[in-house]
């Protein structure tokens, strides 16, 4: 039976995006259209402040102009319909996806400004947590409501950027503070790990099949059934953490978080080895401390391969 692929937009296999299908002679019979992602950051050490905004498509960095440039990608979140940006000390915006312009957004229930970096998804809901301030987003009303009693078992003060998910379970990991959500009791309880006991959620990442953690320049792989982190070999670079990764065109990339700040593509990840290969896209900016993988985003939300519980459409 013949299969018509003309209108097929995406294909997945083993929880990974298929980029192209070739016949036995190497001819491409289907290829995934390259999705655009965006890079948004600014350099506050310059006068005036320098906006660093790009669109990445077809392996090329294109300068991107916005009507409001003071956006950072790691402060973007979505309620499943709209794309919002909340910058600590700066303001709040919503993206008009028809005009592709940022518009003013008011959250009167918040006093002052707050960061979208503390917004996360848990149990099908969207939350904000910073210190002792915990809120749940009511999408119907478009308001943030009190959620101070919704995390039984956790300390009174915690941060939304330390929640992560292994595909089956939810965790809170911040140094020695390790918790897991018990689905039966609906309580957060202390979590014990083997092989690695003290780490942060932002150090974890996934290739779509396995969960990894880069801790103190050592790469670990998680055996979910035994809660064991086993050290494995890493090639290419160790200058990154989970949030510095990003997804693009069906592959995983990273921008290093230390000199020489280069870009790498994930070329192997399994139970024994993780390999990163240095790559460059056309017209790329000078990589440096202000060019970071966690500032990548798309119209579906953030595009990091980190296991941190970011909101996406």
Give the separation between CA 206 and CA 195, rounded to whole angstroms.
Answer: 18
Q: Is residue 2 part of a domain?
A: no
For every residue of 44-67, DSSP letters joined together read TTSSSPEEEEEEEETTEEEE---S
pTM of the entire predicted model? 0.88
Q: How many domains does the chain have?
A: 1
* Residue 291 neighbours by CB distance under 10 Å: 20
Q: Is residue 5 part of a domain?
A: no
Q: Is residue 309 part of a domain?
A: no
Q: For residue 30, give the CATH number of its domain.
A: 2.120.10
Give the separation between CA 245 and CA 242, rounded to whole angstroms.
Answer: 6
Helix, strand or coil, per DSSP, at residue 32: coil
The per-residue pLDDT for 193 is 98
The per-residue pLDDT for 20 is 67
Look up the domain containing 269 and give its range.
Answer: 12-302
Kind and range of the H or E element at 77?
A: strand 76-78
pLDDT tens, residue order, the chain (313 aa) = 567 665 566 687 776 667 668 766 555 676 565 589 999 999 888 889 899 999 999 999 999 999 999 999 999 999 999 999 999 777 899 999 999 999 999 998 887 779 999 999 999 999 999 999 999 999 999 999 999 999 999 999 999 999 999 999 999 999 999 999 999 999 999 999 999 999 999 999 999 999 999 999 999 999 999 999 999 999 999 999 999 999 999 999 999 999 999 999 999 999 999 999 999 999 999 999 999 999 999 999 999 999 999 999 9
Q: Is residue 271 part of a domain?
A: yes
What are the distances in angstroms from CA 223 to CA 11, 108, 145, 233? 28, 44, 37, 16
Q: Is residue 3 part of a domain?
A: no
């Amino acid at each position: 039976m013949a299969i018509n692929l003309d209108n097929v937009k995406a294909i997945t296999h083993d929880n990974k995006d298929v980029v192209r299908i070739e016949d036995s002679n190497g001819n491409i019979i289907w290829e995934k259209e390259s999705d655009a992602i965006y890079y948004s950051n600014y350099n506050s050490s310059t006068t005036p402040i320098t906006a660093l905004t790009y669109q990445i498509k077809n392996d090329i960095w294109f300068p991107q102009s916005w009507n409001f440039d003071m956006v950072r990608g790691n402060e973007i979140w979505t309620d499943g319909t709209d794309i919002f940006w909340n910058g600590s000390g700066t303001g709040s915006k919503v993206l008009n996806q028809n005009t592709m312009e940022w518009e003013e957004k008011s959250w009167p229930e918040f006093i002052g400004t707050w960061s979208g970096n503390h917004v996360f998804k848990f149990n099908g809901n969207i939350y904000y947590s910073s210190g002792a301030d915990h809120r749940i987003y009511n999408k119907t009303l478009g308001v943030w409501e009190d959620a101070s009693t919704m995390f039984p078992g956790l300390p009174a003060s915690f941060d939304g950027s330390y929640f992560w998910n292994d595909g089956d379970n939810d965790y809170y990991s911040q140094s020695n503070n390790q918790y897991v959500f018990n689905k039966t009791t609906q309580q957060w309880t202390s979590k014990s790990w083997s092989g690695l006991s003290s780490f942060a959620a932002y150090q974890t990442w996934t290739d779509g099949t396995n969960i990894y953690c880069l801790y103190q320049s050592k790469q670990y792989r998680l055996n979910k059934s035994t809660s064991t982190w086993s050290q494995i070999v890493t090639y290419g670079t160790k200058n990154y953490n989970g949030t510095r990764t990003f997804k693009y065109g069906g592959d995983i990339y990273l921008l290093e978080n230390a000199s020489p700040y280069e870009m790498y593509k994930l070329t192997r990840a399994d139970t024994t080895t993780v390999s990163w290969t240095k790559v460059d896209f056309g017209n790329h900016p000078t990589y440096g401390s202000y060019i970071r993988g966690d500032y990548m985003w798309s119209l579906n939300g953030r595009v990091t391969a980190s296991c941190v519980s970011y909101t996406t459409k």
